[in-house]
Chain A
Amino acid sequence: MASGVLVVVETSAGDIRESSLELIGPARSLAGDGGVTALVIGSGVDAAAADVAGRGVDRVLTVDNEALSHYTTDGYTAAIEAAIGQVDPALVLLAGTTSGRDLGPYLAARTDSVCLTDCTTVRWDGSTLVGTRPVYQGKMLTDVSTTPSGVAFAVLRGGANPVAVAGQGSADVEALNVDLGDSLRVKVVDVAVPPAGDSSLDSAETVVVGGRGMGSAEGFAMLEELAAALDGAVGATRAVTDLGWRPHSEQIGQTGKVVRPKLYIGVGVSGAVQHTVGMQGAETIVAINRDKDAPLFKLAAIGVVGDLNEIVPALTQEIKAARGK
């Protein structure tokens, strides 16, 4: 009888992807009487496995293989299916990374099983699995539900749950031998890590982010001034880096950085899910937008509706005065 939860822990260059650690808390409450098993996948994952073992799981499995040093759907699929065979879980949880969003639906379709994607929370209601997820680019929520006949999959949106803390027991770590042979059809030929750029973005206590609403690359000059007044860093949405207004190193969201500053100021940022996964951990969120229906206002402690071209310079002035600059 399938029971418990298998948590998939992604690694990159041996480092755990943080959103994988957000799965352990939800796994604990979903596992009921069954256990929580973490599966650490990658190349050279001993340290990562030891770390996960101390974060409140019952068991850790590793699939450690040089061919898994970079994500491929085939490689991760082989590892996860081997672990499912070993553990027989009722549910597999994946993080809402670019990889996890591929794997959940892919694995489910391979076995005619079901997958709930992009959920902020997942719960069992008897034998029905219910997930809450944002739809219409985060403008609305809905509850999706399914009654699985075999193992079910759920992908949890990054940033929606706290990272499991360390120092919680020490589970046994067990290596799982998976023969990948030449089963990896897609080959990784190059990984270009973007130049660090203004690396202060990761550690800045204040982050000022511009969205497509800035209108042009030149429009960011006023954000740089605002950020300087606050000793903060400038970030951007994907739309902005796509347009080439700012470098990829400044992108915050699904395909960029995840930041957790004390103060986040979003200017001309609508707040689509692809962006908010990278910033919703911010302590205080300020939104400036002319569209009062912009989803970012729902996350904001302070929202200003109006023309950013007037508000931002006024705000910069006011902050400089307040800080005696």
Chain B
Amino acid sequence: MKILVPVKQVPDPNAIRFDASGTFASSTPRVVNEYDQYAIEEAIRLKESGAATEVVVMTVGPASARDAVNRGLAMGADRGLLVVATDSDLEAADVASIISAEARDGGYDLVLVGQETSDGGSGVVGPQVAAKLGVPIVSNVVSLEVGDGKLSLGREVEDGRVTVESPLPVVVCALTGLNDPRSPSLKGIMAARKKPVQETPIASYETNGADVSWGKLYAEERVVEGTIIETDAESAARQVVELLREKKLV
């Protein structure tokens, strides 16, 4: 079984701060999108258990996104693919086209992708890759077992835990809870330096251009006129109870 893991480099969601104009500091650290780390970890575990023959980590992004590929290699993936694009080139449907072209040409059996990203966060890439490849999509996956030519997958959805069986090839979207992603070891980081990373310009892929355009970012207007309390705990508690009493909630 050959596995493709598409990942995305995103601004660290714990560090990102927006100013009034809707922009954030270019110095905001970049990290591998959290859900994608679960996808990488699961793929590496399948390799370690002998179920997978090769794990390839792929990203579409600026040249600096190579760090995201390198992290996957340091965790244990075999090789990397970097499709170099400027930020403005990136529209989810285009990214899905590129990933599906790669998955088709590379003869992958499993595309293991994070459920959604912490930046755009629309979660469209997994379903769109599946549709373009003509293979099934199984999302919100929290457990994965390999059977004979098929996968048994646990999904966490509104009703609880649903177990499904899917033939291969398939696109699987990883949710947190699937595993506990490892941190790269020093040995892994050293080994990663010798692993091949193929760089390709985005122009070598067929994309349709932006179908959906994004406007400026802006802050949500306060839904309610709220009171923000920033004082010592005892006074804060008194004020909260006073306000709740006015609303007849205490």
A interface residues with partner B (beta carbon < 8 Å): 12, 17, 70-74, 97-99, 101-110, 112, 114-118, 133-146, 185-194, 206, 230, 238-239, 242, 248, 255-256, 262-263, 273, 284-286, 292-293, 295, 297-307, 310-311, 313-315, 317-319, 322-323
Contact of A315 among B96, B214, B218, B237 (CB under 8 A): B237
Known A140-B22, A298-B223, A322-B241; contact A284-B167, beta-carbon cutoff 8 A: no
Q: Which residue on chain A has the smallest CB distance to residue B178?
A: A242
Which B residues lie within 8 Å of A74 (CB)?
A: 136
Contact status B212-A144, CB under 8 Å: yes
| Chain B min CB distance to A316 (Å) | 8
Total A-B residue contacts, Cβ distance less than 8 Å: 242
Contact status B217-A135, CB under 8 Å: yes
Contact of B131 among A106, A117, A146, A318 (CB under 8 A): A106
Contact of B241 among A105, A134, A273, A319 (CB under 8 A): A319
Contact status B160-A292, CB under 8 Å: no
Contact of A189 among B124, B165, B211, B244 (CB under 8 A): B165
Known A117-B122, A186-B164, A318-B237; contact A146-B213, beta-carbon cutoff 8 A: yes
Contact of B124 among A97, A115, A319 (CB under 8 A): A115
Q: Which residue on chain B has the smallest CB distance to residue A323?
A: B250
Contact of A318 among B121, B211, B213, B238 (CB under 8 A): B238
Contact status B228-A292, CB under 8 Å: yes
Interface SS of chain B: helix, strand, loop or mixed?
A: mixed
Contact status B212-A146, CB under 8 Å: yes
- Near A by CB (< 8 A), chain B positions 99-146 give 118-124, 127-128, 130-132, 136-140
Known A73-B136, A301-B224, A301-B227; contact A109-B96, beta-carbon cutoff 8 A: yes
Contact status B220-A304, CB under 8 Å: no
Q: How far is the CA of A285 from the CA of B161 in the complex (A)?
A: 29
Known A-B contacts: A73-B137, A140-B220. Give 19 more (CB < 8 A): A72-B164, A73-B127, A104-B124, A105-B128, A109-B96, A109-B128, A117-B124, A135-B217, A140-B217, A141-B218, A142-B217, A142-B218, A187-B165, A193-B160, A255-B157, A273-B121, A298-B223, A315-B240, A317-B237
Contact status B237-A306, CB under 8 Å: no
Contact of B118 among A12, A137, A319 (CB under 8 A): A137
Q: How far is the CA of A172 from the CA of B248 in the complex (A)?
A: 45
| Chain B min CB distance to A49 (Å) | 20
Q: How far is the CA of A145 from the CA of B210 in the complex (A)?
A: 10
Q: How far is the CA of A84 from the CA of B226 in the complex (A)?
A: 44
Which A residues lie within 8 Å of B170 (CB)?
A: 186
| Chain B min CB distance to A74 (Å) | 7
Contact status B176-A238, CB under 8 Å: yes
A-contact 0/1 string along B1-34, CB 8 Å cutoff? 0000000000001001110001000000000000
Contact status B119-A136, CB under 8 Å: yes
Contact status A136-B121, CB under 8 Å: yes
| Chain B min CB distance to A152 (Å) | 10
Contact status A102-B137, CB under 8 Å: yes
Which B residues lie within 8 Å of A108 (CB)?
A: 93, 128, 131
Chain B count of residues within 8 A CB distance of the other chain:
78
| Chain A min CB distance to B128 (Å) | 4
| Interface presence of B156 (CB below 8 A) | yes
| Chain A min CB distance to B123 (Å) | 5
CB-defined A-B contacts under 8 Å, sample of 6: A104-B124, A105-B122, A108-B128, A141-B219, A192-B161, A193-B160
Contact of A70 among B93, B162, B238 (CB under 8 A): B162
| Chain A min CB distance to B23 (Å) | 10
Which A residues lie within 8 Å of B216 (CB)?
A: 142-143
| Interface presence of B194 (CB below 8 A) | no
Q: How far is the CA of A97 from the CA of B123 in the complex (A)?
A: 12
Contact status B136-A185, CB under 8 Å: yes
Contact status B167-A185, CB under 8 Å: yes
| Chain A min CB distance to B13 (Å) | 6
Which B residues lie within 8 Å of A105 (CB)?
A: 92, 122-124, 127-128, 131
| Interface presence of B203 (CB below 8 A) | no
Contact status B236-A284, CB under 8 Å: no
Q: What are the 7 tightest A-B residue pairs by CB atom distance, in nearest-first order?
A: A109-B131, A105-B124, A314-B237, A310-B233, A143-B215, A106-B127, A117-B122
Contact status B229-A305, CB under 8 Å: yes
Contact status B160-A311, CB under 8 Å: no
Q: How far is the CA of A144 from the CA of B215 in the complex (A)?
A: 6
